[in-house]
Amino acid sequence: MARVKEQLPAVEGWFSTGEEPALIGGRCGTCGTYSFPREALYCRNPDCDAGPSEEVALSRRGRVWSYTDACYGPPPPFVAVDPFVPFCIAAVELATEKMVVMGQVAGHVGVDELAIGDEVELITDVLYEDDDHEYLVWKWQPVTRRDPRPGARSAKAQSAGSTGSDSGALIK
C-alpha cells in the first residue's frame, strides 16, 4: 500500500488549508485596500500613506472574470507531470475585495465547462509531488459543474491528438 505523503504548501503563507481553505491576503487598516499576496511593505493606494497591511482571509467564492487553458506544458519552474496533463486557469472576481485573483481550475474541468460569470469556490489541491511530499496550491472549483458546450474545444479534447511541446516551442 502506498505510503501517505506529508502535504506542504507550495508557497509559505499565501493560503490556509483545512475544511474551508482561503487565500491569505492583506487589508490596509487605514483605507481598506486589499492585496494578494499580502502587501508587506506599503499600502498601494497613492492617497494612503499606511504601512504593512493586516493579514486577512479573502472571500472563498467569486465569479469567473475570464479563463483559458494550458494546452502545452509550461516551462520550469512549473513542475509538469509526464505526460503533460492540460489544465485551465481562471481569473476570478472577488466582490468584497473588488479585485481579480488568478488560480488553476480544479478537477480536470475543461474550457468548454467554464463561462464568464460562473461562481467558483477556493479549494486546495496537489500542485506537484516528490518522493516524500505533496505540495499544495490553491485552485478555483466551479460551484456547479456545467455540461460541456458543443463546439467549444477544450485542452482535454485536443491533447489526445497533440504531441506535447513541439508547437509550444515556437511561442512567446
Partner 1 sequence: MTASGDQVAVIGAGMHPWGKWGRNFVEYGVAAARQALDDAGVTWGEVQFVSGADTIRNGYPGFVSGATFAQALGWSGARVTSSYAACASGATAIAAARAQILAGLCDVALVVGADTTPKGFFAPVGGERRDDPDWLRFHLLGATNPAYFALYARRRMEIFGSTEQDFAAVKVKNSHNGHMNPNARYRAEVTAEEVLASPMVANPLRLMEICATSDGGAALVLSSMDFARRRSISHPVTIRAVSTVTPRFPQTVIEMPNFATDSAAGVDGTLHPGFRRSIALAAYEEAGIGPEDVDLAEVYDLSCALELDWYEDIGLCKEGEAERLIRDGDTAIGGRIPVNPSGGLSSFGEAIPAQAIAQVCELTWQLRGDAGARQVEGARLGLAANQGLFGHGSSVVLAR
In whole angstroms, the minimum distance from the beta carbon of 82 to partner 1 comes to 14
- Pick from 6, 47, 130, 131: which binds partner 1 (CB under 8 A)? 47
In whole angstroms, the minimum distance from the beta carbon of 71 to partner 1 comes to 5
User: What is the DSSP code (8-state) at residue 15?
Assistant: B
Q: 88: Cβ–Cβ under 8 A, 6 or more apart, which residues? A: 67, 68, 69, 70, 104, 105, 109, 110, 111, 114, 155
The verdict on 126 binding partner 1 (CB under 8 A) reads no
- The answer to whether residues 103 and 97 touch, using CB atoms and an 8 Å cutoff, is no
The verdict on 36 binding partner 1 (CB under 8 A) reads yes
Burial class (CB in 10 A: 0-12, 13-18, 19+), 6: exposed
In whole angstroms, the minimum distance from the beta carbon of 149 to partner 1 comes to 12
Q: Mark the segment that binds partner 1 (CB under 8 A) among 62-70, 118-126, 142-150.
A: 62-70
Q: Which three cell numbers stand for residue 91?
A: 481569473
Q: Which residues bind partner 1 (CB under 8 A)?
A: 10-11, 25, 28, 31-37, 43-48, 65-80, 87, 89, 91, 96-104, 111, 116, 127, 137, 153-155, 158, 162, 165, 167-172
